[in-house]
Chain A
Amino acid sequence: MPKTVIVTDSTADLTADEINELGIHVVPMTVQLGSKVYQDDLKQPRERFFQMMAESTERPTTSSPSLATFREVYDAACGETDDIISIHLSGKLSDTVRRARQAAETMLGRCQIHVLDSEVTSVGQGILVKQAARMAREGAPVQEIIRTLRGMIDHIYVVFFVESLDFLEQGGRIGKAQALLGTMLNIKPMLILEEGEIEPLEKVRTRGRALDKLAEFVSEFGRIESLTIMHHQSTSDEIQSLIERIETARGESTPIFVAQYGPVLAAHIGPDALGIVVYEGLRENPWDW
């Protein structure tokens, strides 16, 4: 019986190596900067686009993949399997997951496509995608993979701070963080993805303090399976400083990964946000913490 195939979108921020190794199919997202349109498919290096973004005075805009783009990816995947799991960024942040469902309907009869709202994005979404791909490779039944992923979603935390709320406000993805608009002092809002939506945590005045708050956030977990720092253009000094704070808070036993968030997220939260994605892991025994 052919194995299940995993599809995701490019906001999962996986590397080209990971995609090739795990045989993941990627639906590219589109970012527009002025008159230039950039297709982010995780295969070509993103540096050139980041460079363009940094140099441009215009704000990038994004659009979710068209039905045709989805069908193209699904068509290719259908040649390999009868079962597809298509994992996408939170439906509260983007239309992508709805497009995926529409596209999946048009494929009825050719293959079974299971669309899953990850309720997160970026590295958090990537964790789900990689888990799914690994299970598929080992031949796990599709329902078991989906059950596992659904269970994992509640154990993935995405917390970050933004330099200002401008990008979120302009992109219309501000959610409940709009409570922080109107603040008369310059603040760096700390935000969390909660059930797929951006919610405010608190207001911080400085990046240094924000780093403290991120470290404080991770210190509250009993067990962490993976911890990833999510940045776009932070200096290595800043990242090192965050790593040190996390190690002080948790000891050096927790492995820390660093990932760069992609152009779509950069368009919505700005290039200077910095955050942490925590995956607690699934508890095998509910009492075993």
Chain B
Amino acid sequence: MHVVADSFSTQINLLTPLISGIANGAAYGLLGLGLVLLYKSNRIFNFAQGEFATVAAIVAYVFDRGTGWVPKVPYFLAILIGIVAAVLIAVATERLVIRPLFHRPRVVLVVATVGVALFLIGVEGLLPYPQTASLRTISDALNVQSYVGRVDGVVVLDQDVAKLIALAVLALGAFLFFRYTATGTAILAVSQDTTAARVVGISVERISMTTWAIAGLLGGVAGVLLAVPPAGSVTPGSITGLTLTVAFSAAVLGGMTSLPGAFVGGLLIGVIEAFANADNGFVPGLNSLPTAQAEVAVAVVLLVILLVRPRGLLGQEA
């Protein structure tokens, strides 16, 4: 009797962090996809990716509520407008900031994306909207039950399933795009040798803009899925502050050059975090903040992967 009861409780303890970890991991993967895309194509770390997501969330929120001169539109149209806004911001970033710096050292480009992130946080902060609000969840908008079901008593939210599906679809889609389409191949060619790509007739400018537009799209999708209760909100800079760091670790774990890697890395990091946090007092003295153990775990994973296998789990030289 005792043995059965014990194993039962152990099972629940393992399942809870697993499910919450996968849910968080989907968020890291979604942001990570955009990071991987830009690393793969431009060899830079885009620190503005989190703000592309926030812009989408804010615009979607404003159109969903319809405040001031902004008309109230149906939820899914608002989401779409938000994602389009993120794409436009990303394209503007490419045209105004990245393209003039195209031939500079990579460190300058990375610093410039930091500047774009700061700039967007500043603009978002000065916009007149309630800055601690969250977007409605998909199930709220459809007026359906907010969870698909329970697994052994652990609630599985609709929104988390939506995140996971979006992540899987986008990761697979982006992977196929690079593998099988002419534009995808052209993006890789430009990343490897700009001059040679130009010689064979690829428009480097057009490719660069396409790449950033896709990055904006990925960021926008991440934003409208992440800025919902209970965890997220559309506070300026919150996605950059809370999720971007871990998303980078996820992308490195999966391999900075692999789009499926962002999927795998994101879920793995999410689960690692959740298990590291499952027993809050595991490391004595570290329990003053609820997330401390998770952060240490992520940092250790990042350092170990960089030391042992710098190209990540699925990464390759390309």
Does A associate with B in a complex? no
Using CB atoms and an 8 Å cutoff, list the residues of chain A in contact with chain B.
none
Using CB atoms and an 8 Å cutoff, list the residues of chain B in contact with chain A.
none
